[in-house]
Amino acid sequence: MAQTQKTELSIPTATISRLVTYLRILTNLEKSGVNRTSSDQLAEEAQVSAFQVRKDLAYFGRFGTRGMGYTVLTLRRELQRILGLNRHWNVVIIGMGRLGQALADYPGYKENNLYDFNLKGLFDIDPAKIGMTMHGITVSHVNDLEQLVREQNIDMGFLTVPVEKAQDAADALIKAGIKGILNFAPTVLEVGEDVAVEQVDFMAGMKRLAFYILNPHLKALKEDEE
Ligand code: NAD
């Protein structure tokens, strides 16, 4: 269809965020025993317009049947495939301080048939932390990163080092062959075009929240501008 070229060129990051939301909604519908859904229903639950739902899905092809809506199971599987969640992903954490340890402690990285992220390695540079075992994984020195990435096919790294060390640690991840970084350090990383970075920043969220509390008449725009 006409949108095919667009898929290869550019897709709004907001669309990818909404696909993750649609996938969660579809998963919940499926768990509730619902077999069919519509762009109206997805839109209502995602708090966007049905037009936006159709536009987001159209980047990736045709789903559902005109007037009949979508089969929940099929669309859920399609979104999983598009997002790459039908395979497993191996993850390392760089920086085993407060945040790194909390992330290593998180029990929800995999859910049967829905997503499968495997924590495979923990890294630091502090001799006091290297050799410690956390959640069954021994903390290694960053110098050993490349070997683990090669041996265990590591796909992504969580970056939880102090901000002034973030670029160095990112460079180490990239040199080791990692193509995706979940960056918790509050800084913009310089990476090549073949490396994806997702920024996670709860402090930024608090600052946006302060703005919206003070400006309740300014609704956050959840959809693309027409
Ligand atoms: P921390 O000081 O407790 O831990 C940092 C760890 O990184 C230490 O163990 C240190 O030895 C290690 N380290 C330093 N340089 C390294 C390197 N080059 N390679 C590997 N390890 C290295 O810090 P924290 O409180 O856990 O915070 C970590 C980062 O996360 C900071 O950048 C902080 O600003 C950020 N942070 C982000 C969020 C968020 O929402 N995104 C929330 C809290 C903290």
Question: How many other CB atoms are there within 10 angstroms of residue 174's CB atom?
Answer: 18
- The fraction of the chain above a pLDDT of 70, given in percent, is 92
> How much is the pLDDT for 5?
44
pLDDT at 6 over 60: no
Which atom of ligand 1 is the closest one to the Cα of 97?
A: 4
Tell me how far the alpha carbon of residue 168 lies from the centroid of ligand 1, in angstroms: 13
Q: Architecture of domain 3-83 in CATH?
A: Orthogonal Bundle (1.10)
Q: Is 60 left (phi over 0), alpha (psi -120 to 50) or beta?
A: alpha
> What are the pLDDT digits (tens) for 77-133?
999 999 999 999 999 999 999 999 999 999 999 998 899 999 999 999 999 999 999
Asked if 3-83 and 88-203 have one fold, the answer is no
99, 181, 199: which to mutate for ligand 1, most atoms within 8 A of CB?
99
> How much is the pLDDT for 221?
63
Which residue's CA is the nearest one to ligand 1's atom 31? 162
CATH topology for 88-203 is Rossmann fold (3.40.50)
Which atom of ligand 1 is the closest one to the Cα of 162?
A: 32
**Nearest-angstrom CA–CA distance, 109 and 128:** 27
**Nearest-angstrom CA–CA distance, 70 and 188:** 39
Q: Where exactly are the structural domains of the chain?
A: 3-83, 88-203
Nearest to 104 by CA among 88, 93, 116: 93
- Going from the C-alpha of 87 to that of each of 77, 82, 110, 198, the distances in angstroms are 12, 11, 11, 19
For ligand 1, residues with CB inside 6 Å are: 94-100, 123-126, 129, 142, 160-163, 165, 168-169, 184-186, 200-202
CA 104, distance to chain mean position in Å, is 16
Query: Are the beta carbons of 94 and 157 closer than 8 angstroms?
Result: yes
